[in-house]
Amino acid sequence: MDTETLERNYREIQSAVHPDRFAHLSDQERRLSMQWATRVNEAYRTLRAPLLRAAYWLQLNGIDAGMENNTAMPAEFLMEQMEWREAVEEARASRDMDELDGLHRRLRQSLNAIHAELAECIDVQQDGEAAAGVLRRALFLDKLRQEIDDALIELES
Amino acid sequence: MALLQISEPGESTAPHQHRLAVGIDLGTTNSLVATVRNSMPVVLNDLEGRALLPSIVYYKPDGGVDVGYDAQPAQASDPRNCIVSVKRFMGRGLRDVTHVETMPYDFVDSEGMVRLRTVQGVRSPVEVSAEILRVLRDRAEASLGGELTGAVITVPAYFDDAQRQATKDAARLAGINVFRLLNEPTAAAIAYGLDNAAEGVYAVYDLGGGTFDFSVLKLSRGVFEVLATSGDAALGGDDFDQRAYCWMLDTANIRFPSAKDSRRMLLKAREMKEHLTGHDEARVVMTLSTEQVVDLTLSRDTFADTTKHLVAKTLAPVRKALRDAGLQPEDVKGVVMVGGATRMPHVQRAVGEFFGQTPLTNLDPDKVVAIGAAIQANALAGNRMADEDWLLLDVIPLSLGLETMGGLVEKVIPRNSTIPIARAQEFTTFKDGQTAMAFHVVQGERELVSDCRSLARFELRGIPPMVAGAARIRVTFQVDADGLLSVSAREMTSGVEAQVQVKPSYGLSDDEIANMLQSGFDFANADMQARALSEQRVEAQRGLEAVQAALDVDSALLNAEERAAIEQTMQNVRAKMAGEDHRAIKEAVEQLNRDTTEFAARRMDQSVRRALAGQRVDTITFSKSAT
């Protein structure tokens, strides 16, 4: 997807509907503008974030990613997950912010690699089932990233 | 200040169409008011030519109220009745306030927001802030020669819902129509960005008197998009004063200073801090009420050393915002410094080292926020020039969520979501025949409810009895462009509904505000009537102009019948405006609003269609992801 086009279109539409354009107008116009701006923000948020975008694509194509129930993962991936988790727990317990920061960065690199994999499944192979599998792994990593984030916030506060 | 050639000379709107609008920076230490005049943003001075209004309110024993410089002397002579830094108490309970022990006030720890007992009775922080706002409103109206249509009031980006609501209430109490609450760093970014035609990723480091904000923005072709914001709503220049004050106590070996001595020494501490910005050392000589003579010299290095943990404390939110935005320090093109406290050399040094570049200090850090607010107010009032095309996309600073089983928080809207935003979540009953469900709305990042701020509690009643798990209760969070939250809950199978404007646990009720307004500080009843009438006429005029403008452009969207109906309602508004009954005017305006709903919806659809013209959903593919 051409993110520049997405961004440009988003900004164009938001320019047309944003509440700031209607602040001096009637109550109706202000309310409608807020509803529209809300929808546009939601659409942009979904299309901009690779994982949400992929989930949306799967949904449009009628593929159930089974994110809640289907936790079957390759053993290798699960091992890796456990190692990540141990590293995070250790860093958290020893209040090692630099280590957490480093883990956060490495995790983001892994996520970027997964995004490329997703793009391959969806755009090139058009293989929805494979994409759903990759997406499930990606969501695992994303959850882990959030946990590191929470740990950092807790240590910093 | 060289700022903003918004339009060519002669292109400005006709004077009678120019709506008077101001930007107000309601600061912890100082407040300002600014406006856009002849296409140039200017700060409005008082009669003595001073731009700043110290945020000090003195409740005098004789029943009068002094605000600003007039109130300053009372800080030392009557500290209990002279309220400084009231912003620290906005939307806060007593246990949230730091350094209570060194404050000279008589706190009343009531349910919700803390209150202060003064010689004139108990005052809420909202009322104290309203006194400051009223002085600024009077200054603006005197200077601009007319009644204000509205104002943009700035708040720290890291203010939570309760603090925002309190600020809006204060404005209402001061008789100010609030166009928008605007985040302070965003206001600074507008002023800086438009002035310098900046493009790229910029950061704003805003260390004010009592609050710290840090925002990362992407500036691109007139769009100011906030990527992430963070901060500390209880950290600012005051804390540096406090450290210098403690250093004085320690060094001079003073144990229990009286309230007056304490206040005097704090003022001296602040003077020393400010002196150290341009000098290597600062000396203080004063005689306390105990006859003890204090004669101390504070060096810049010592001061930097005793406050270095405060500077370090600002860097944690900086790292968090960058992490949230997925950026490294070197991705930031420029760091704009805002707030008087960023004048301290060791603060500038620390920021410079973190980002590997000299921070931008070319705008007056005291005025830039008010200037940005004035520019936004001018645009929101509809005074925008033809070639002035920019847009602001801001975010919420803190996640919003609901309490779930076990005192845990379920996040509904994550922090740094672009506003306005709505998000719904479904819940179900956990007992057979359950007919009511309680909701607890919280704000914050922590997992436990007890670590987050409680915003509101409400109940959905009248759920038809069903087996456990059969009811589907959809809770919707809507955050508007001011960053204020409203929540509604609806049982989907029966349609039972409950709605709350989040009037937070720490806010004032509508009744309280109505009472405060009626008990009228400065207007007698007749004045109130006159004011209401004049406000309704302004409102009606605004409505008529809006509809007329819409008709001029888009009457093609209406058939003859519809158009005639709208024109008749407009005629009715004009007739009522000629009368003296403000309620009749209000009714007529409401009627006009109802009759133009469909027209407004068609216009909105049309503008969306235009913006979408030529775009096709199926051209969107997946790759080249944003991160």
- The 3-state secondary structure of B177-211 reads CEEEEEEHHHHHHHHHHHHHCCCEEEEEEEECCCC
Residue B35 pairs in a beta bridge with B22, B42
A117 contact residues in B (CB cutoff 8 A): none
pLDDT at B41: 93
Q: Say how many C-beta atoms besides its own lie within 10 A of residue B461's C-beta.
A: 12
Q: What is the dihedral of CA B194, B143, B8, B191, to 10 degrees?
A: 0
Q: What angle do CA B188, B189, B193 make, to 5 degrees?
A: 125
Task: For residues A80 and A44, state if they share a domain.
Answer: no
pLDDT at B272: 96
Sequence-ordered list of residues with C-beta below 8 angstroms from that of A51, at least 6 positions apart, any chain: A115, A118, A135, A138, A139, A142
CA dihedral sign, ordered B188, B190, B193, B194: negative
Polymer length of chain B: 627
A112 within some domain:
yes
Least confident range from B4-18, B97-111, B269-283, B613-627: namely: B4-18
Give the ipTM of the model, two decimals please.
0.85
Q: Do A14 and B393 touch (CB under 8 A)?
A: yes
pLDDT at B505: 54
Residue A59 has which token pair?
Answer: 């949904």
Which residues of chain A, if any, have pLDDT below 50?
A: none
pLDDT at B197: 85
Task: For residues A107 and A145, state if they share a domain.
Answer: yes
pLDDT at B623: 46
pLDDT at B533: 79
> What angle, 0 to 180 degrees and rounded to 10, lies between the N-to-C axes of helices B597-612 and A3-17?
160
B87 is catalytic: yes
pLDDT at B504: 53
A90 within some domain:
yes
pLDDT tens digits, one per residue of B340-364: 999 999 999 999 999 999 999 988 9
Task: For residues A23 and A91, state if they share a domain.
Answer: no
pLDDT at B315: 95
Task: For residues A135 and A79, state if they share a domain.
Answer: yes
A128 within some domain:
yes
A55 within some domain:
no
Catalytic residue, chosen from B66, B169, B184, B195, is B184
B614 contact residues in A (CB cutoff 8 A): none
CA distance B598 to B604: 10
Query: Residue A18 maps to which CATH number?
Result: 1.10.287.110
Task: For residues A79 and A42, state if they share a domain.
Answer: no
pLDDT tens digits, one per residue of B67-99: 999 999 999 899 999 999 999 999 988 888 877
pLDDT at B217: 96
> Is A42 within 8 Å of A53 (Cβ atoms)?
no
Tell me which residue of B296, B276, B274 sits closest to B285, measured CA to CA: B296
Least confident range from B11-15, B52-56, B109-113, B166-170: namely: B11-15
**Residue B436: which pLDDT band, with cuts at 50, 70 and 90?**
confident
Pairing of strands B178-183, B150-155: parallel
CA dihedral sign, ordered B17, B19, B20, B21: negative
Checking if the pLDDT of B620 tops 60, the result is: no
Catalytic residue, chosen from B46, B78, B87, B268, is B87
Checking if the pLDDT of B4 tops 50, the result is: no
Interface test with B, best of A27, A52, A53, A115 (most B CBs within 10 A): A27
* A76: closest CA of chain B, how far (Å): 26
B25 is catalytic: yes
B580 is catalytic: no
pLDDT tens digits, one per residue of B482-499: 888 888 888 888 777 766
Interface test with B, best of A11, A15, A26, A109 (most B CBs within 10 A): A26
Catalytic residue, chosen from B127, B131, B206, B241, is B206
CA closest to B324 among chain A residues? A149
A64 within some domain:
no
Least confident range from B48-52, B411-415, B518-522: namely: B518-522
Rounded to 5 degrees, φ, ψ at B203 are: -120, 150
> Is B78 within 8 Å of B55 (Cβ atoms)?
no
Q: What angle do CA B206, B20, B84 make, to 5 degrees?
A: 40
Residue B84 pairs in a beta bridge with B56
Tally the domains of chain A.
Answer: 2
A59 touches chain B (CB under 8 A): no
pLDDT at A64: 75
Tell me which residue of B346, B343, B321 sits closest to B332, measured CA to CA: B321
> Is B425 within 8 Å of B449 (Cβ atoms)?
no
CA closest to A54 among chain B residues? B622
Checking if the pLDDT of B518 tops 90, the result is: no
Q: Do A13 and B612 touch (CB under 8 A)?
A: yes
| Helix (H) or strand (E) run with residue B153 in it | strand B150-155
Residue B295 pairs in a beta bridge with B285
Q: Do A156 and B543 touch (CB under 8 A)?
A: no
Identify residue A107 by its one-letter amino acid code. Answer: L
Interface test with B, best of A13, A38, A60, A126 (most B CBs within 10 A): A38
Identify residue B225 by its one-letter amino acid code. Answer: E
Q: What is the dihedral of CA A23, A27, A31, A33, to 10 degrees?
A: -40
As to burial, measured by CB atoms within 10 angstroms (0-12 exposed, 13-18 middle, 19+ buried), residue B467 is: exposed
Task: For residues A85 and A31, state if they share a domain.
Answer: no
Checking if the pLDDT of B528 tops 60, the result is: yes
Task: For residues A84 and A143, state if they share a domain.
Answer: yes
CA closest to B413 among chain A residues? A42
Of B389, B608, B623, the CB nearest to A13: B608
> What angle, 0 to 180 degrees and rounded to 10, lies between the N-to-C axes of helices A27-48 and B597-612?
30
Q: Which residue has the tokens 């140039």?
A: B40
pLDDT at B525: 55
Query: Residue A148 maps to which CATH number?
Result: 1.20.1280.20
Pairing of strands B223-232, B212-220: antiparallel
**Residue B251: which pLDDT band, with cuts at 50, 70 and 90?**
very high
Identify residue B290 by its one-letter amino acid code. Answer: T
**Residue B613: which pLDDT band, with cuts at 50, 70 and 90?**
low
A54 within some domain:
no
Q: Do A1 and B323 touch (CB under 8 A)?
A: no
The domain in which residue A132 lies consists of 75-156
Sequence-ordered list of residues with C-beta below 8 angstroms from that of B137, at least 6 positions apart, any chain: B33, B148, B151, B174, B175, B176
Average pLDDT over residues B99-116: 84
A25 touches chain B (CB under 8 A): yes
Q: Do B623 and A44 touch (CB under 8 A)?
A: no
Structural domains in chain B? Answer: 23-235+320-393 (3.30.420.40), 400-512 (2.60.34.10), 525-612 (1.20.1270.10)
Checking if the pLDDT of B560 tops 70, the result is: yes
Q: Say how many C-beta atoms besides its own lie within 10 A of residue A75's C-beta.
A: 7
Residue B356 has which token pair?
Answer: 């590997």
pLDDT tens digits, one per residue of B184-239: 999 999 999 888 888 999 999 999 998 999 999 999 888 999 999 999 988 999 99
Task: For residues A37 and A80, state if they share a domain.
Answer: no
Task: For residues A98 and A144, state if they share a domain.
Answer: yes
B66 is catalytic: no
A57 within some domain:
no
pLDDT at B313: 94
Residue B500 has which token pair?
Answer: 């709350």
B381 contact residues in A (CB cutoff 8 A): 23-24
B426 contact residues in A (CB cutoff 8 A): none
Of B223, B421, B600, the CB nearest to A11: B223
pLDDT at B31: 97
> Is B52 within 8 Å of B32 (Cβ atoms)?
yes
A65 within some domain:
no
* A118: closest CA of chain B, how far (Å): 8
